[in-house]
Structure 1
Amino acid sequence: MGEQPRSSMPLIRDAHTPVDIDQIRELLLEYQAAIDVDLCFQDFAGELASLPGEYSPPAGRLLLAIDADSVLGCVALRPLQGSDCEMKRLYVRPAARGRGLGRLLTETLLHEARQVGYSRVVLDTLPSMTEARALYRAVGFTEIPPYCRNPIPGVSYLALPLRVR
């Protein structure tokens, strides 16, 4: 497979217009198909219907990665209890992978979490998400005990402190 020509540096921005939300919804449906897991235990259908929902500012974020006119990926942030937040739905379209876009989305989201004032970001990830798991560890996430219910076997729970304690 030949290398894809690179265009300009992808732009990471808030998803806030109705068109943006439709693009996020499309990406999240691709995400669900890619992981091939029934997310009904997370009320995924309700999440899609109510976007931006829990990901709304000021406490949440819904970010899009765009290159020229192409939507490449997304990531979301939602508040939890106290000063914790949860990173959700990191997804990069297959044609855009291998360019560091997952890392750029993650680092942008972590910056946003710091700006909001969160002290820790948590997430859960499936055993099949090997690239994502490697990325999370590379940016400093470490294993923690489960913080939410997830019935899928082998799920890892990770956290990253955002402030020096």
Structure 2
Amino acid sequence: MTDILIRPATSPDDMSAIRQLCWDYRGHLSQVSDIDAQLTETFYPVPKYAALMETLETLHARPQGIILLALLDGETVGCGMSHALFPDTSEIKRLYVAPHARGHGLARQLVSALVDQARADGFSRVVLDTSVNLGPARALYASMGFSDRGPYQDIPAEALPHLLFFEAKL
């Protein structure tokens, strides 16, 4: 039987695992397509991403955000985080499940837990973005009641055709 657990990241070891998953996610995005590699380098060049990794606990701190990890049979295999983008809006960031752990519903459980936490924290909507080339992510968000919307923050015009934006009212 497969044991799945979604829980907040609370310890230094948890954060170490989260950071590794975030680097794996960045690497994955760079391999999706040439345009995704270009967008990854544009938005998150290595020095900027390294600095971001050092501030995750602050950026996603309670009570306006959270960092979750997904464990499969005791192994940390996925992550997702949120933060307050606006007073009424929580943004989901860096949702990722390692390739060997996909197919168990972990991404769905992570999104559900992030949405539930945003609702409990008093937000009235959740937003997120993804690459047009990440079909499984797009299908997941649509199946969970997220609707298409336009950009919710400034995005360079050349990137817009390659990104999709979603919103769920809470």
TM-score normalized by the length of structure 1: 0.89
Bigger share in helix:
2
Output the CA distance in 2 between the equivalents of 1:148 and 1:39.
19
Q: Which residue of 1 aligns with 2:164?
A: 156
Q: Which residue of 2 aligns with 1:7?
A: 2
Q: Which residue of 1 aligns with 2:53?
A: 48
SS of 1:156 mapped into structure 2: strand
Q: Among residues 86, 92, 99, which one is paired with 1:81 in the alignment?
A: 86
Paired residues in the alignment total 156
Output the CA distance in 1 between the equivalents of 2:130 and 2:53.
19
Give how far 1:16 is off.
1.5
SS of 1:59 mapped into structure 2: coil
Q: Which residue of 1 aligns with 2:129?
A: 124
Deviations along 1:120-161, whole A, 9 cap, x unmatched?
A: 000111011110100000001111121123343420111000
Q: What's the C-alpha RMSD, in Å, of the aligned pairs?
A: 1.4
Question: Structure with the greater relative contact order (CA < 8 A, sep ≥ 6): 1 or 2?
Answer: 2
Query: Are 1:111 and 2:116 matched, yes or no?
Result: yes
Deviations along 1:21-64, whole A, 9 cap, x unmatched?
A: 11100000000000103255354332101121211111111000
SS of 1:21 mapped into structure 2: helix
Give percent identity, aligned residues only: 37
Structure 1 stretches lacking a partner, 5+ long: 1-5
Deviations along 1:55-105, whole A, 9 cap, x unmatched?
A: 111111100001233111000001011210101111001011011111111
Q: Which residue of 2 aligns with 1:3?
A: none
TM-score normalized by the length of structure 2: 0.86
Q: Which residue of 1 aligns with 2:15?
A: 21
Q: Is the 8 A contact 2:78 2:96 kept in 1?
A: yes
SS of 1:57 mapped into structure 2: coil
Query: Are 1:35 and 2:43 matched, yes or no?
Result: no
